[in-house]
Amino acid sequence: MRTLQPSEWIAQRTAHERRVEPWIAPRLLRASQGLKHPVDDFLFEYYPHRPSLLKRWHPGLGVVLLGDEAECYLGVPAYRAERNGVTAVPLPDKRKSFLEWLCAFLGSTIDRAPFFGCHGLHEWAMVYKSEEIRYASQPLRLSLVEITAVVDSLSVRCSHYDAFRFFTPEARPLNRLQPRRETSPQLEQPGCLHANMDLYKWAFKLAPWCPSDLIADTFELARDIRELDMRASPYDLSTFGYTAVPIETPEGRAEYEKSQRAFAERARPLRRRLMNLCQNLLAGNN
């Protein structure tokens, strides 16, 4: 166990709260006004983690918070009194099977070769030959006929089930892969934007044992990826200040792949940290 004096952990908590406030405050303001943002709201809706939980600071595995001030954590699930302070409880036995699955899942993804040739067609496949637009509040920057032509002219190769499941029925047979929930461990690959966004989901599921700096790092990565995701989509986001990444052109696809590679580099150490945390949690539970 590592101990933190009140001056140390309160400073860390304050720094975390200041870091996440620019992400949280606009979301809460928009919600109070009934407004939507296609990029910034996504992480709070697709991943159902409340802003208040993102703001809550956790020291992580094996840390004891000293001082009377730490007693506020005794009202937070999965914390207990320890010596002269407060720490997270040991991993419950009922979580062990999930940790074993997640550790293997992250490990197999790390070892798999990345693929950078999908060109972000998943968002296009979600409106392919359909009058029902997934994000109906956002105008399209191309007509449905033009979107169909783009999808038909390019190879669709989406490996991520949670993107593929939103494909239109007409688009699904075009995908070179047919991912299912149960085949995700065999198909997840580190070049996939959605796989790297999901690191935020896994980090959040590991709270309070996952330190909040890692949760914030994965959130920031996911938010940046979401921006590229929507800029490369067939939607027009110019009213929000975003310029399109026109993957319907060779130049746009090259720009997309360059960013995709950069995100994969950012994701690699975060995925490794999450896997190491799973291993440490499992080792401490045996």
The residues facing 80 across adjacent strands are 87
Residue 8: which pLDDT band, with cuts at 50, 70 and 90? very high
Q: Are 91 and 284 in contact (CB under 8 A)?
A: yes
Average pLDDT over residues 156-166: 94
Instruction: Calculate the alpha carbon distances from 244 to 11, 194, 227, 251 in Å.
Output: 40, 19, 10, 12
Q: In the structure, what pLDDT confidence band is assigned to residue 83 with cuts at 50, 70 and 90?
A: confident
What one-character DSSP code corresponds to residue 90? P
Task: Give the whole-angstrom CA distance, residue 211 versus residue 204.
Answer: 10
**Whole-number average pLDDT of the chain:** 94
- Residue 281 contacts by C-beta under 8 Å, 6 or more apart in sequence? 61, 91, 99, 206, 209
CA angle 108, 114, 117 (to 5 degrees): 145
Pairwise CA distance, residues 228 & 245, whole Å: 8
Where are the chain's structural domains? 2-285
Average pLDDT over residues 193-218: 96
Mean local confidence (pLDDT), 100-120? 95
Q: What is the pLDDT of residues 20-45, one digit of tens each?
A: 999 999 999 999 999 999 999 999 99
When mean pLDDT is compared across 3-12, 16-25, 38-47, 267-276, the lowest value belongs to: 38-47
> How are the residues of the chain apportioned to helix, strand and coil, as percentages rounded to the nearest 5?
55, 5, 35
Model-level pTM? Answer: 0.95
pLDDT tens for each residue of 207-216: 999 999 999 9
Q: What is the reported pLDDT for 285? A: 57
Burial class (CB in 10 A: 0-12, 13-18, 19+), 201: middle
Q: What pLDDT does residue 84 have?
A: 86
Say yes or no to pLDDT of 137 above 90: no
* CA atoms of 51 and 22, how far apart (whole Å): 11
Please determine, for residue 250, whether its predicted confidence score (pLDDT) is greater than 90. yes
Q: For residue 286, is pLDDT > 90? A: no
